[in-house]
Amino acid sequence: MISTKRPALTTLGEEEAAFKQAVREFAEKDIKPHVHAMDKNAQIDKDILKKLFEMGLMGIETPEKWGGAGSSFTMACLAVEELGRIDGSISVLVDVQNTLVTNALLKWATEDQKSNYLPKLASSWVGAYALSESSSGSDAFALKLLAQPKGNSYILQGHKLWITNGGEANLFIVFANVDPAKGYKGITAFLVERDTPGFKIGKKEDKLGIRASSTCELVFEGCEIPKENILGEVGKGYKIAIETLNEGRIGIGAQMVGIGQGAYEAALKYVKTRDQFGKSISQFQGVQFQLAEMRTQLEASRLLVYNAARLKDEGSDFIEAAAIAKLFSSKAAEKITSMAIDLYGGNGFTKEYPVEKFWRDAKIGQIYEGTSNMQLQTIAKMELEL
């Protein structure tokens, strides 16, 4: 008998498809019932955080010898996508943990640092990536956080802003300048634990979207960090930041695909049940065309993200692919979620229905981990070989 089920436009291997389905079922069962409350309270449910570790979603690429799943970057992106389909806040928490923090440690940490921190990050510790400051957004290396040498330590003095996972994190990768006279060549990455004297979590931002995800100020007042907590080498922090963010952009692309998918599915379901002029609005050609446009944008985004992740996994040059994937998927997510509100009509503008949250969550995709303009600049430079 010939199957009448529509084939998936984006194909995955059996292991990838099974993993993706497992994450989807987990998100539907354990996260979805709490999404509205987390958004309203601007707080991640602690039980969900615990379950993320139990599911192995906080150390997807971490080798098994350090308690992780020993899987691929693509698998991490699939998890971020499926979580984003239900909640953008949980999605970005898992994204930062895997594509930024864990990835940086796997590539740059010493064996002692890996043995110390990777098992904790895979089992119970949340990680955060602290690069941004009030004066350094797109100009990421205009850092003012200073790291002054003192014997076998460095003294960190200054602030960080807009740090994702700041409220929950136990370990922070902090970028500071050990020699401002050298400019970006003085930037160095430090591993800072939450309970380090002289370090505290400051203001938590009250955001438009991804509200349950904590975005915090970090305050360093004479915070002493031993030299053995330097990640990589002194003065190589800029290289760590650039390379890690290139990878992280693929993760944000995956998050945007998930958010777009969630909004699209909600709209598709709604138009089949909403009657106007004596019939379902799904029967009107204008609505059908909107759905077709949403579906096309969504699938194009997914293909771009999967391709960038594949290139990263196979060791190929993926920088331009990552920029394209993030640029396109973040714009597509904003468009898809906005169209979903349109299809819901007045209901879409209320918090009783899910699509207004998808729209709020989608907006950040064009801002963090490199704005859309910065992605355009990256793509243009690589095309022109500047």
Please name which of 244, 241, 254, 242 lies closest in space to residue 325, comparing C-alpha atoms.
254
Options 1.10.540.10, 3.40.50.2300, 3.40.190.10, 1.10.390.10; CATH of 14-126: 1.10.540.10
pLDDT digit string (tens) for 1-57? 344 456 667 779 999 999 999 999 999 999 999 999 999 999 999 999 999 999 999
- Residue 7: what pLDDT? 64
Residue 140 has pLDDT above 90, yes or no: no
Q: Are 311 and 319 in contact (CB under 8 A)?
A: no
- What's the whole-number mean pLDDT along residues 68-92? 98
Higher pLDDT, 176 or 1: 176
Handedness of CA 92, 9, 11, 24 (dihedral sign): positive
**CA proximity to 92, closest of 193, 18, 163:** 163
Contact 63, 111 (CB under 8 A): no
User: In 87-243, at which residue ranges do the beta strands (DSSP E only) sit?
Assistant: 127-130, 146-150, 153-164, 171-177, 187-193, 199-204, 215-226, 230-231
For residue 63, count other CB atoms closer than 10 A to its CB: 15
pLDDT of residue 363: 98
Q: Tell me how many degrees the CA angle 32-164-124 measures, rounded to the nearest 5.
A: 70
Give the span between the Cα atoms of 277 and 9, in whole angstroms. 34
Given a contact cutoff of 8 angstroms between Cβ atoms, the answer to whether 159 and 219 are in contact is yes
CA–CA dist 201, 217 (Å, integer): 6
Residue-wise pLDDT for 243-291, tens only, equals 999 999 999 999 999 999 999 999 999 999 999 999 999 999 999 999 9
Report how far residue 293's alpha carbon sits from residue 291's, in angstroms, rounded to the nearest whole number.
Answer: 5
Q: Is the dihedral of CA 375, 92, 133, 182 positive or negative?
A: negative
Residue spans of the domains in the chain: they are 14-126, 128-235, 238-384
What CATH superfamily is the domain 128-235?
Butyryl-CoA Dehydrogenase, subunit A, domain 2 (2.40.110.10)
Question: Whole-angstrom Cα distance, residue 51 to residue 48?
Answer: 5
For residues 284-308, average pLDDT:
98
CA atoms of 94 and 77, how far apart (whole Å): 10
In this predicted structure, the answer to whether residue 306 has a pLDDT above a threshold of 80 is yes
Q: What values do phi and psi take at 204, rounded to 5?
A: -100, 130
The dihedrals phi and psi of 174, each to the nearest 5 degrees, come to -110, 130
- Residue for token pair 């984006």: 10
Torsion from C-alpha of 270, 80, 176, 118, nearest 10 degrees? 150
Distance separating alpha carbons of residues 76 and 213, to the nearest angstrom:
18
C-alpha separations of 127 from 105, 195, 223 in Å: 11, 14, 18
Q: Of 156, 155, 171, 51, whose CA–CA distance to 114 is shortest? A: 171
Catalogue the long-range contacts made by 373-381 (C-beta closer than 8 Å, 24 or more residues apart): 373/138, 374/138, 375/249, 375/323, 375/324, 375/326, 375/327, 376/327, 378/319, 378/320, 378/323, 379/320, 379/323, 379/324, 379/327
Of the candidates 14, 334, 369, 383, the residue annotated as catalytic is 369
CATH homologous superfamily of 238-384: Butyryl-CoA Dehydrogenase, subunit A, domain 3 (1.20.140.10)
pLDDT value, residue 138? 83
Task: State the pairing for strand pair 127-130/171-177.
Answer: parallel
129 φ/ψ angles, rounded to the nearest 5 degrees: -120, 110
247 among known catalytic residues: no
Hey, what long-range contacts does 344-347 have (CB within 8 A, 24 or more apart)?
A: 344/267, 344/270, 345/274, 347/270
What is the rounded distance in angstroms from the CA atom of residue 265 to the CA atom of residue 270?
9
Given a cut of 70, is residue 242 above it in pLDDT? yes
* End-to-end CA, the chain: 56
Distance of CA 328 to the CA centre of its chain: 16
What is the model's pLDDT at position 4? 46
317-331 as b/e: b if 16+ CB within 10 A: ebbbbbbbbbbbbbb
The chain-wide mean pLDDT, for the chain, equals: 96
* Cβ–Cβ < 8 Å for 159, 216: no
